[in-house]
Chain A
Amino acid sequence: MVQAPERLIGAEVKRKEDPRLITGQGTYVDNLKFVGTAYLAILRSPYAHARIKRIDASRARVHPKVLAVFTGEDLRRDGIGSIPVGWLLPDIKLPPHYPLAVDKARYVGDGVAAVVAEDRYSAYDALSLIEVEYEPLPAVVDQEAATRPGAPQVHDEAPNNICFKFAMVAGDVNRALAEADGVVRQRIINHRTSGSSVEPRAAVALYQPATGELTLYNTNQNPHLIRLLLALTMNYPEHKIRVIAPDVGGGFGTKIYLYPDEVVACYAAMKLGRPVKWVETRSEYLRATVHGRDHITDFEVAYKRDGTITGLKVTTYANLGAYISPFAPLIPTFLYVPMLHGPYKLPNVSAEVYGVFTNTTPVDATRGAGRPEATYLLERMVDLVARELNMDPADVRRKNVLEPFENYQTPLAFVYDSGNYPATLNRALELVDYARLREEQRRLREQGRYIGIGLSTYVEVTGAAPSQVAVSLGAQAGLFESAIVRVHPTGKVTVFTGSHTHGQGHETTFAQAIADEFGISIDDVEVVHGDTDAIPFGLGTYGSRSTPVGLTAAYIAGQRIIEKATKIAAHLLEAAEADIVFEGGRFFVRGAPERAVTFQEVALEAYVPRKIPADLELGLEATAFFNPSNFVFPFGTHVAVVEVDPETGQVKLLRYLAVDDVGRVINPMVVDGQVHGGVVHGIGQALWEQVVYDEQGNLLTGTWLDYAMPKAPDLPSFQTDRLETPSPVNPLGVKGAGETGTIASTPAVVNAVLDALAPFGVKHIDMPLTPERVWRALQAARGQG
């Protein structure tokens, strides 16, 4: 008899992926070696905006190690098209985005030519041998300024640089503003950041002329999507392309898209008939890999004397950069505007968003994508109202958060699946001992020390789906997820998932859930992902969708396995199917648990039939495409405690608490890890990280010497806690946990700093709250006082 294992869902299981990663056996793209590999390097525009008058590659071509040089014209001549946009909006302007610039370069980093050489060093040497005659053009960087008359035009197809306009209205905001006891108006800038995974992007393309098979090993989060976009861009049959995303060293959204460089690698491999490898340098990453956020927003909020917030009016200019990255139109629209209702009762909301082209690196989803921008706005809004009313920010939140619910229709289209916002808020306040913390703050202020306490009460949307709704709103792909569960004759199981893990731990958490479902050992379950030739057509990992959508697909396939296995067991046990019970890895006859067969015995019978009749299909394998009926909405409350040095403006994070509710938890250790990392991404944006251009569009933060990410000495250890309100949307009751930390932490930290500065009368400072910005705000406040 096989011992039924202990329940795995909810257990802190050590990760199955770790042994290879802690011993240096990871399969990151640059680790892959193929005989005869040539190396690709991209010549990038040093100008933010310039006409390309002439490209002379003759000196590069005669370099003894150079195999080929390509330009945008070469690619166009060979039928390589524009990279498609994956989400369309009404009246959206769609200027082409060719893998190498044709006629004009539109941002610093725009690819202008490509070199393929025998080795990496020579490829980079040859870049300096290509002569490009540029005619520099006026550039525009600021998205609001870009819409004004007379601004430089990034694309002829988009007058005033406006790519799209998007608006939503709930209730009557103007009336709320007119009837308010008070109104606060604030401009906030949610500045540009870089996802900056520690692994840059990389690609290896292989081409088999005899079969026409094109294989791309690539750092991405969703191989089927890359394959689809690649097929469309290259006008090449989808079924002849195989995309493999092996071990990927972090994504944070930046590895969702098909980029120009990967297309050029494929093109070069086909032209040369050799494996072509391209590995981005970090300096290239900061120019050529999408950035995130970059909103300029004005808002007005209406409130009543008792702290009730009654209306919110928002105008946002969202910077799209120089081209439309495949999912860029989605981020400042459907992932932002409907979330402006937040966790609050807030009945009247109106928002207008302009998506604007500028001469900067394209902007698309990075960790959080739209929801951090919404949550930052809302949480600043609540604190500004609290300040006006001289109320405690916790009390204003208590006053406005929704009561516990299941399936709540917001006035902005979404139906929140389940939530208990007062519970996480109260739990957080209890765990930090809020009253005592406030008391300590008062005491320290008397000593001239400035501690600040910042709250962030958030709800976010994960588990992107349902597909029909998404497609009706502009998605050019469904948002389901797929899985195949294959039970082998020995009862061992392989799960093929359309999700992709690049740090999230699916190889472990998916195995936990499926092992539990079958009552078998986790060692008997292997999770395969990331290869279009191995997995069913899947949409990959983004928007914290892997557990609620990807794992659910696997779970449903598992249920189909059990259904079939029950039929087989009935034959083996010579009992009616209706009388068969499956529990702890055993099938037995109801009321007679000793009449049993194991999962493994059933699996063997499915392939080596002894008793099952001929009309029962052999094999034990099931496929599922899960298309959820709704999104899922994690929520929680985070608290940051900071100290500000009023003399230098330096902020020190003293303490951080995250209370989250992400539905049912598969592996608490993994979820804690997601929260820690997410929180630090958000802290980074609040305090240090920013992508900066000068007025001419030159990138001033083009290396990791300038782009400031959190390092270990900058941070304390964190405190995490969780409540579990299951989601009704999927059978496991799970939600997503990958982005909650990022969404919640940015406003928590900013609110904490402004709370510390309250005695000086400072109400708002735009991020990042660098020492100089804090110091300047204090100088200005002192000047007024």
Chain B
Amino acid sequence: MARVSIRINGVLHEADVEPRLLLVHFIRDVAGLTGTNIGCDTSQCGACTVIMNGRAAKSCTFLAVQCDGAEILTIEGLAKDGQLHPIQQAFWEKHGLQCGYCTPGMIMTAYHFLQMNPNPTEEEIRHALEGNICRCTGYHNIVKAIQYAAELMRGGAPAPTPAD
């Protein structure tokens, strides 16, 4: 067993874990944050994507012990003070999700991507989503949602939408 402490959405989670415990299982089973989903076992689907130390990461492809001391942002930490993040708002408004299972990973990937590229083309958005699989939307409305989110984030002041 190894002691790890990982800050997730601003909250420090400390636990003794087996070295083989995957980060995604730490997030889901130890920290109890089940918004981050698991869709495959070969690091293809991106459903488990979180932001680690500022960069999008497939949390199924890390051991929790590797991430000792890391800062992680998951889907649960995105809305602030009851206000949805513009990317969440855009996914809602543009029907960027159906079953919702790939959605947290899509949103977290977009979060990192839009920081690197605030004004992307459609082609750049599609390229950025290469590591995320969706079986419901055909990606059409996910692309539209990310374009819209980019607009919201650049323009700054769309009417905020309550988280619930």
Contacts and interface: CB of A to CB of B under 8 A. Distances in A.
A binds B: yes
Interface string B14-27: 00001011000100
Contact of A25 (B18, B35, B39, B84): B35
Nearest to B20: A121
Given A250-B99, A504-B98, A199 B84 contact: no
A709 B36 contact: no
A717 B28 CA distance: 34
A718 B138 contact: yes
A24 B75 contact: yes
Contact of B76 (A18, A24, A197): A24
Interface stretch (A101-109, A343-351, A674-682): A674-682
B112 to A, nearest CB: 15
A478 interface: no
B163 A713 contact: no
Given A24-B74, A704-B133, A198 B95 contact: no
Looking at B38, B122, B129, the one whose CB has the most chain A CB atoms below 10 A away is B38
B91 A248 contact: no
A704 B101 contact: no
A704 B40 contact: yes
Contacts of A282: 39-42, 45
A712 B126 contact: yes
Contact of B40 (A252, A676, A703): A703
A715 B139 contact: yes
Q: Interface size class for chain A?
A: 35 or more
Contact of A198 (B45, B78, B130): B45
Contacts of B32: 33
A281 interface: yes
Contacts of B74: 24
Contacts of B134: 198, 712
Contacts of A24: 33-36, 74-76, 104
B47 to A, nearest CB: 6
Contacts of A17: 100
A199 B107 contact: no
B129 A23 contact: no
Nearest to B102: A198
A196 interface: yes
Contacts of A709: 133, 135
A771 interface: no
B163 A19 contact: yes
B100 A21 contact: yes
Nearest to B162: A19
Given A704-B42, A712-B125, A676 B141 contact: yes
Contacts of A584: none
Nearest to A33: B32
Instruction: Please classify the interface of chain A as helix (H, G, I), strand (E, B), loop, or mixed, using the class held by over half of its residues.
Output: loop
Given A21-B103, A22-B107, A712-B142, A200 B84 contact: no
B59 interface: no
Nearest to B123: A713
Interface string A766-781: 0000000000000000
Nearest to B128: A712
B100 A503 contact: yes
Contacts of B126: 712-713, 715
Interface in A323-339: none
A198 B47 contact: yes
B85 to A, nearest CB: 9
B120 to A, nearest CB: 12
B92 A673 contact: no
Contacts of B33: 24
A84 B132 CA distance: 37
Interface in A95-154: 120-121
Contacts of A677: 98, 135-138
A362 interface: no
Contacts of A249: 37, 39, 99-102
Interface string A1-25: 0000000000000110111111111
Contacts of B115: none
A679 B135 CA distance: 11
B79 interface: yes
30 contacts: A14-B95, A22-B91, A23-B164, A24-B33, A24-B36, A24-B76, A26-B101, A28-B37, A28-B101, A121-B18, A196-B135, A198-B37, A198-B47, A198-B134, A249-B101, A250-B101, A503-B99, A503-B136, A505-B98, A676-B139, A677-B136, A677-B138, A679-B138, A680-B139, A703-B41, A709-B133, A712-B129, A713-B127, A715-B138, A715-B140
Shortest 8 CB-CB contacts between residues of A and residues of B: A24-B35, A249-B101, A21-B100, A503-B99, A503-B98, A680-B138, A24-B75, A31-B34
Interface of B: 18, 20-21, 25, 28, 32-42, 44-45, 47, 74-76, 78-79, 84, 88, 91-93, 95, 97-104, 107, 122-123, 125-127, 129-130, 132-144, 163-164
Given A22-B107, A30-B38, A283-B42, 20 more contacts: A18-B92, A22-B97, A22-B103, A197-B99, A198-B37, A249-B101, A250-B98, A250-B136, A281-B41, A282-B39, A673-B95, A673-B98, A673-B137, A677-B137, A711-B129, A711-B133, A712-B126, A713-B130, A715-B126, A717-B122
